[in-house]
Amino acid sequence: MNESDTSRHFLRQWIEKDVADGKTGGKVVTRFPPEPNGYIHIGHAKAVCVDFGMAALFGGECHLRLDDTNPAKESDEYAENIKKDIRWLGFQWSGDGDGVESGFYNASNMFDKMYEIAENLIKRGQAYCCNLGQEEWKEYRGTPEKPGKPSPSRDTDPERNLKIFREMRDGKYADGEWCLRAKIDMSSPNIHFRDPVLYRIRHVAHYHLGEKWCIYPMYDFAHPIEDALEGVTHSMCTLEFEVHRPLYDWVVDRLDEMGMLVERGGVKIRPQQREFARLNLTHTVMSKRLLLQLVTEGRVNGWDDPRMPTVCGMRRRGYTPGAIREFCERVGVSKVESESEGALLEWCVREELNKTALRRMAVLDPVKVVIDNFEGVREVELPNNPLDESALTRKIPFSREIWIDRSDFMEVPEKKFFRMFPGGEVRLRGACIFKCSHAVKDDAGNVVEIHGTWDPGSWGGNAPDGRKVKGTIHWVDAATGVKAKFRLYEQLFTAKDPLKDGSERFLEHMNPDSLCEKEGFVEPLLGTAAPGERFQFERTGYFVADEKDFSPSSPVFNRTVTLKDSYKPA
RNA sequence: UGCCUCGUGGUGUAAUGGUAGCACCGCAGAUUCUGAUUCUGCUUGUUGGGGUUCGAGUCCCUGCGAGGCAACCA
């Protein structure tokens, strides 16, 4: 990615201007703030690319901050996997790798500061404790069309508020009994200004801090504080937070009044929030809740199921970090809610793998071919990657009996089928020209064995008389081929938008054929592949040795993506 | 019917008052020992109406459409 390739989208122009205006104190600082309550998916990957990408573009830094302000749903397992996935995507926060991790933050590490700020707000008469119940709360808040009305506690004096707030902290009250609210404007057209809740009581242990707190800050209060205290200059998030922005600015203003904004290069750093459209992908769902449902109901085999849009799922599928980054670059950044096509992601994957994946031959649905006039064993030499000479070549044994794919044979060829059929000639990739004589069938009419002869003058693949053979098919030597399992993946959902009938009915759109398991043979070399290693199986697709289930004695390959196929029977 | 945001080919995005461009998808052809790759060509677009301007996708007004906001979630 160089500068001219990068789109000059509105966020970039925004930051450019702030840098020019000297607002950043010499360093652009962004942040990626996931909540550790699930695995990150391709949608988060776009945010990671934007957050880390913009920082890198301006020579600044991007913090990884776990926004762990709601202990009810968060866990260390999620936290660790988020870090792993971001590293895998190819991004680094300051100090990652040398154990310092100065660019890594937990929101929960700022709880002391947040509490102090909350007390300050109370003392300044800008926040108060409120004990409205759920129902009353709703009634007092009003609706978007109707202004709210003040809580009876709105004008309690700071002294008493401070006392109650400390009692909240000390565990004197039950969940929901009291909360701390900002004192702003109950009649604002923006509901987030109607005295929003700043702190709520939650008698729940925090995965990171244990029992230290029983009150926890709300996102709208915590986020601007985190940004400000970390010296973040540009805080980018998704569109639904646009309405929260005035509140974000309100908190930053209060921090400014309290003299709590950090200074850098003689400049007071005022964090600013801007919003861009989240990534949506066709034929999948992106909501953490729905993905969790797929996992817990066993509709897929875990968060890292290769059909999942999670980063760990895509990794297991064989997608590359580079392809994912390229995809995020290509879909662009804007404020238009849109749905990108999965085809573009697949194109990015093929684009990279075509250049880098070693070529191999694998037969997924084997049928035996006997070359009646072939004797002994010969060796075929083929390039590991015809696009990259430095990848060198490999040698593959070839003998009288081989496996080919069932789909490469037709007893009665249709028009424009130029693979194997009785009476026709086909090239066996890298080996020779073969003329099929007949097929042996079982009682049910299934082809069980194909016979024919080779042209002894054609070793290497070219006819001695220069005659053209249009079709070339792949094969695996039966004597030395290695048995292998293949997992063929397709879209998890048949509908472009699985949520079109509402999220409660999205399961109805699941693709029953999203996973198809096959058993066949691969060329001998593949028995020693490393888990996670990616290949192109010629004429078939890109595959990866499964990172969990592959072993030399029982090779398992996941299909990453098929090769483009322009074969259309006439 | 409150407030906020957004409408450019099938999809995603560019054009920042001056020739509507790029990519993916699709289609057609060339090359090819992968029906892949590569190469060439093609189809398809500014939400309607009014206004400002020499000139509007861009600015203004208005209609239409889409989305967001009424968790003590993030």
- What pLDDT is recorded for position A569? 82
| 3-class DSSP string for A36-82 | CCCCCEHHHHHHHHHHHHHHHHCCCEEEEEECCCCCCCCCHHHHHHH
Å from the A154 CA to the B49 C1' = 50
Which pTM was predicted?
0.96
Domains in chain A with CATH codes: 5-278 (3.40.50.620), 288-358+484-562 (2.40.240.10), 368-474 (2.40.240.10)
- When pLDDT is cut at 50, 70 and 90, the band that residue A161 belongs to is very high
- Does residue A185 lie within 7 Å of nucleic acid chain B, judged by its CB? no
- Does residue A392 lie within 7 Å of nucleic acid chain B, judged by its CB? no
- When pLDDT is cut at 50, 70 and 90, the band that residue A6 belongs to is low
User: pLDDT at residue A130 above 80?
Assistant: yes
CA distance linking residue A52 with residue A61, whole number of Å: 7
- Does residue A33 lie within 7 Å of nucleic acid chain B, judged by its CB? yes
Using a 7 Å CB cutoff, list residues 395-424 of A near strand B.
416-419
> Hey, how many other C-beta atoms are within 10 angstroms of the C-beta on A379?
9
> Hey, how many other C-beta atoms are within 10 angstroms of the C-beta on A337?
10
Return the closest nucleotide (C1') to the Cα of A175.
B72
Instruction: Classify burial at A22, counting beta carbons within 10 Å of its beta carbon; exposed 0-12, middle 13-18, buried 19 or more.
Output: exposed
- With beta carbons less than 8 A apart as the criterion, state whether A262 and A231 touch: yes
- With beta carbons less than 8 A apart as the criterion, state whether A366 and A357 touch: no
Write the pLDDT tens digit of every residue in A210-225: 999 999 999 999 999 9
User: pLDDT at residue A5 above 70?
Assistant: no
Tell me the two tokens of residue A361.
């031959």
Strands A61-66 and A29-32: parallel
Q: Return the active site residues of A.
A: 35, 278, 288
Å from the A386 CA to the B15 C1' = 40
User: pLDDT at residue A165 above 60?
Assistant: yes
